Amino acid sequence: MTTAPAYLPGDIELRISDQPVAYREALAEMTARNAAIAAGEARELVWLLEHPPVYTAGTSAAAAELLDPRFEVVEAGRGGRYTYHGPGQRVGYVLIDLRKRARDARGFVHALEGWVIDTLADFGIQSFRSEGRIGIWTRDVDGREAKIGAIGVRIRKWVTMHGFSVNLNPDLSHFAGIVPCGIEEFGVTSLARLGRTIDVTEWDRALVARAPAFLAALDRACAKEPVE
């Protein structure tokens, strides 16, 4: 079930799906919507949802990093390598027309990361970017760095697609079937593992509250910030 569309600043459609959406179905819909936005035939879209268990392969995925294909594997067409999606993980697909903004691909990714980092902070989770490593990182229960969110995007005709995922309370053992994003030496964590039990509705509400700041950031070319 999908709730009735709401709208973010700039008449951007906000869609929230309450039931899992098959990855292939979401990918087909996202691809069509991306083309329609580029043609001026549809509104921009932010879509919050969850998938049944699936491994998705980005354009840089290496076969050796698929360790145990226990779930369906889908070629995603986005940048990056292998990623897991499944229950307990909130996915955000962000389809934005950068022709209306700064036309800055790097700035878009930076703003997307910042949106997730700021929302995690609302729940007491301090997270950060890491030079040379894709994703959103935090300190795990053992004090080591671990990934709590993934970023993967594609930009076609200056219209974005794909987006981010955040681990609320997924089965972390499912990540063992891949080398997540090609990074072997660091683990994966979640809000639940860090002691924060967050209802998906709470997460969505906090994320949407920070959407205006994310959208405003897209109007500025990206100025590189020091990596924490």
**Angle, alpha carbons 107-45-206 (nearest 5°):** 75
Residue 156 in marked binding region:
no
Residue 163 in marked binding region:
yes
Average pLDDT, integer, range 72-92:
92
Q: Judge residue 170's burial from the number of C-beta atoms within 10 Å of its C-beta, 0-12 exposed, 13-18 middle, 19 or more buried.
A: buried
Q: Please report which confidence band the pLDDT of residue 132 belongs to, taking 50, 70 and 90 as the band edges.
A: confident
pTM of the model as a whole:
0.92
* 181 classed as catalytic: yes
Residue 152 in marked binding region:
yes
Chain segment 15-32, per-residue pLDDT in tens:
999 999 999 999 999 999
Of 3.30.930.10, 3.30.830.10, 3.40.50.720, 3.30.420.10, the CATH number of 6-217 is 3.30.930.10
Catalytic one among 181, 207, 211, 218?
181
Q: Report the C-alpha gap between 14 and 23 in whole angstroms.
A: 19
Residue 82: which of 193, 186, 201, 177 has the closest Cα? 177
Q: Report the C-alpha gap between 128 and 225 in whole angstroms.
A: 12
Average pLDDT, integer, range 127-154:
93
